[in-house]
């Protein structure tokens, strides 16, 4: 695989990890199973995901007004995700929601709900950073070790795609 294809593969990791509801938690295991370097994948995916989560935190007021306007047009019924987040918030607070939320509802929605439910921007940024780093490292280790335990030496479907 030539250098340009390697760079392109890591750029895709960055872009895909920044997309809400796809995010680093999905990209990290897939990229590692695809044959990319686990450490590079993890670092790049965390940076991509955190960049957009920080944008949500910074522009929260505009996002809330956009959502309020959108909900006016739609039914005012509370979503299942929102109820689940409120239960977690009441039971575990900001740290609990930030640590549990990305796995169930995604990091962007978790950040939005954390601030909506009363978290500060600084606190949400702090806990979301810890959460995403922990989740990505954990999933990278599981993907790497799990794949090795399967004894599959032919991993690298991403590399094969770029070599065609």
Which range marks the domain in which residue 136 is found? 3-163
pLDDT tens, residue by residue, 105-125:
899 999 998 998 889 999 999
Q: How confident is the model at residue 154 (pLDDT cuts 50, 70, 90)?
A: low
Asked whether the beta carbons of 92 and 131 are under 8 A apart, the reply is no
Asked whether the beta carbons of 136 and 102 are under 8 A apart, the reply is no
Q: Token pair of 159, please?
A: 């590399």
Beta strands in 31-131 (DSSP E): none
Asked whether the beta carbons of 131 and 21 are under 8 A apart, the reply is no
pLDDT tens, residue by residue, 38-78:
999 999 999 999 999 999 999 988 877 887 777 766 555 66
pLDDT tens, residue by residue, 13-47:
999 999 998 899 999 999 998 889 999 999 999 99
Pick from 42, 55, 50, 62: nearest CA to 127: 50
| Whether pLDDT at 150 is above 60 | no
Query: What's residue 3's pLDDT?
Result: 87
Q: Give the separation between CA 105 and CA 92, rounded to whole angstroms.
A: 16
Residue 118 DSSP class: T
Query: What's residue 152's pLDDT?
Result: 52
What's the predicted TM-score (pTM) here?
Answer: 0.81
Domain count, the chain: 1
């Amino acid at each position: 695989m030539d250098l340009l294809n390697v760079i392109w593969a890591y750029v895709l990791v960055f872009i895909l990890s920044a997309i809400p509801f796809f995010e680093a938690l999905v990209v990290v295991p897939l990229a590692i199973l695809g044959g990319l370097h686990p450490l590079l994948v993890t670092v790049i995916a965390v940076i991509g995901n955190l960049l957009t989560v920080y944008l949500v935190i910074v522009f929260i007021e505009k996002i809330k007004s956009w959502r309020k306007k959108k909900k006016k047009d739609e039914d005012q019924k509370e979503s299942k995700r929102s109820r689940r987040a409120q239960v977690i918030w009441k039971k575990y607070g900001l740290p609990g929601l930030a640590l549990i939320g990305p796995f169930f509802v995604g990091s962007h929605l978790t950040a939005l709900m954390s601030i909506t439910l009363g978290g500060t921007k600084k606190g949400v940024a702090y806990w979301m950073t810890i959460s995403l780093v922990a989740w990505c490292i954990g999933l990278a280790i599981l993907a790497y070790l799990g794949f090795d335990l399967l004894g599959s030496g032919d991993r690298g479907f991403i590399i094969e795609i770029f070599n065609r």
